[in-house]
Amino acid sequence: MLWDWSYAFEILPILAQASLVTVQATLLGFVLALILGLVFALLRMARAPWIALPVSAFVEFIRSTPLLIQIFFLYFVFPEFGVSLDAFTAGVIALGLHYGTYCAEVYRAGLDNVPRGQWEASTALNLSPFHTFRDIIIPQAIPPVVPALGNYFVALFKETPLLSAIAVLELMQQAKILGSTTFRYIEPITLVGLFFLVFSLVAAALIRMVERRLNRIGAR
Amino acid sequence: MVMRKLVVVAVVSFSAGLVVASFAGFREFIPGLLEGALVTIQITLAGAVVAVVCATVAGLAKMYAPWPLRWLAIAYIELFRGTSALVQLFWLFFVLPLFGITLQPMTVAIAALGLNIGAYGAEVVRGAVAAVPRGQWEATVALNMSRTQALRRIILPQAFVAMIPPWGNLFIELLKSTALVSLITISDLAFRAQQMNQTTFRTLEIFTIVLVIYLAIASIITVGMKALEQKAAGALARGRSH
């Protein structure tokens, strides 16, 4: 018998515990990505080229290099500058930064889709740039791009196993440890795969639901 | 837009080059890292071939195949899009030997990454084929073409042009995901970097150079795909005007 049910049930609670770390990293990373993404998107819109150009360059750089190396970079290089991050923090920051650059593009699409007249109206009403953004532009720019942001949420979730490379005790790392102690890899790794599949499918269904609800609000 | 992007790429490459050149004694790392980069490029190229084949087969099967094949294609796409690339890689690497199938790490890497990107590509293929105007299909019926003929001679050439930009993004995703193969003992760029880091502790230099090398390969992919897109669009326009 290749698949050992009793072993699978034995390791299930251990993996469930580790999955909490995975979920934590996902949520924290995504909150960071949402914030950083908005910052990048707004800075890229800046009229002064000495702001917009370096930010664009930075975003392009992060987008075209592997997340794994960025995780290593944060974890191994930052201590040289006197900033020691523990593995979990380094991993979350790397995830947030990497996906922040993806979210920036999504936000930009949303911001570009706000009609010009809205900006002109805000100027006519003598609103400050801050109020224009907070009360006029952002509320119109964000809802249409929520589904796209949701896709990146699922994508970020699926990247969390990379944290196992710097020994964060998340799902994949726990599975590897279980595998190396018992020499049975089939159950832990398959269970991890199943966990990701179920979570992704549920998340995709949720995103579709949110999308439908937002469309209904938009139509009203 | 394109010009702006190129300017950005140029600025990034130039400043990255300056940073790297300012490292004292950076030369000693370069040969080893370039060897690693060669492995990375090999996996990217082979993985791209696997991905394009899988994507075309699965994408078309999802649209046109009879139901057993269609369901198989859907299962493949959902399975590989729904789980992590790293989990897939580990599954093929650790679990397949238990079924008596032992593959070279390199084969595992190419297969896992190719299948993973192929699943995303299948949706690209499906989207591009679906976006060909209905009238084109109707015209092929009017000309009494068979379905295969219509696909091969009318639909796919038009869909191909629309597929190029998303494929460019996917190839860059593929390049980035090749860093994962360092975790199954293949000595690619990321693996070399870690190895050197453990022996020399010159972390900043090594990882910066590695990031710049990845960036350089990604830029080549971007520029190449842009050129391909222009060429394909030109060829299609010429074909239409005849």
Residue B242 has pLDDT above 70, yes or no: no
Q: Given B8, B88, B179, which is nearest A60 (Cβ)?
A: B8
Contacting residues for A8 by C-beta, under 8 A, at least 6 apart? A187, A191
**Residues 87-126, chain B, touching A (beta carbon < 8 A):** 87-88, 90-91, 94-95, 98-99
Within 10 angstroms of residue A85's Cβ, the number of other Cβ atoms is: 16
Q: What percent of chain A has pLDDT over 90?
A: 54
Q: Helices in chain A by DSSP H: which ranges?
A: 5-45, 49-63, 67-72, 87-112, 116-124, 129-131, 138-141, 146-159, 171-182, 186-219
Say whether residue B81 is in contact with chain A using an 8 A CB cutoff: yes
Residues of chain A neighbouring B78 (CB-CB closer than 8 A): 197, 201
Identify which of B50, B60, B46, B45 has the alpha carbon closest to the alpha carbon of residue B160: B60
Q: Do B203 and A200 count as a contact with CB atoms less than 8 A apart?
A: no
pLDDT digit string, tens, across residues A168-191 = 998 999 998 998 898 888 889 999
Say whether residue B9 is in contact with chain A using an 8 A CB cutoff: yes
* Banded model confidence at residue B5, pLDDT cuts 50, 70, 90: low
Q: Do B190 and A68 count as a contact with CB atoms less than 8 A apart?
A: yes
| Listed ranges A8-17, A42-51, B35-44; the one with the highest mean pLDDT | B35-44
Domain boundaries of chain A, sorted by first residue: 7-219
Say whether residue B167 is in contact with chain A using an 8 A CB cutoff: no
Tell me chain B's radius of gyration from C-alpha atoms.
Answer: 21
Nearest residue of A to residue B184 by CA position? A165
Residue with structure tokens 């390049």? B175
**Probe site for chain A from B5, B76, B94 (most A CB atoms < 10 A):** B94
Question: How far is it, in rounded angstroms, from Cα B50 to Cα B111?
Answer: 7
Average pLDDT of every residue of chain A: 90
Q: Do B180 and A200 count as a contact with CB atoms less than 8 A apart?
A: no
pLDDT digit string, tens, across residues A91-142 = 999 999 999 999 999 999 999 889 989 999 999 999 998 899 889 998 888 8
Question: How far is it, in rounded angstroms, from Cα A3 to Cα A9?
Answer: 11
Residues of chain A neighbouring B183 (CB-CB closer than 8 A): 165
Question: How far is it, in rounded angstroms, from Cα A66 to Cα A88?
Answer: 18
The CATH topology of domain B2-15+28-235 is MetI-like fold (1.10.3720)
**What is the 8-class DSSP label of residue A73?**
I
Q: Given B12, B193, B207, which is nearest A60 (Cβ)?
A: B12
Structure-block tokens of residue B14? 């130039």
Q: Do A70 and B9 count as a contact with CB atoms less than 8 A apart?
A: no
Question: How far is it, in rounded angstroms, from Cα B11 to Cα B19?
Answer: 12
pLDDT digit string, tens, across residues B168-219 = 999 999 999 999 999 998 999 999 998 988 888 888 888 888 999 999 999 9
Nearest residue of A to residue B12 by CA position? A57
Structure-block tokens of residue B73? 């294609």
ipTM of the complex, rounded to two decimals: 0.81
What is chain B's length? 242
Q: Do A69 and B211 count as a contact with CB atoms less than 8 A apart?
A: yes
Say whether residue A190 is in contact with chain B using an 8 A CB cutoff: yes
Structure-block tokens of residue A126? 């003598």
CATH superfamily of A7-219: MetI-like (1.10.3720.10)
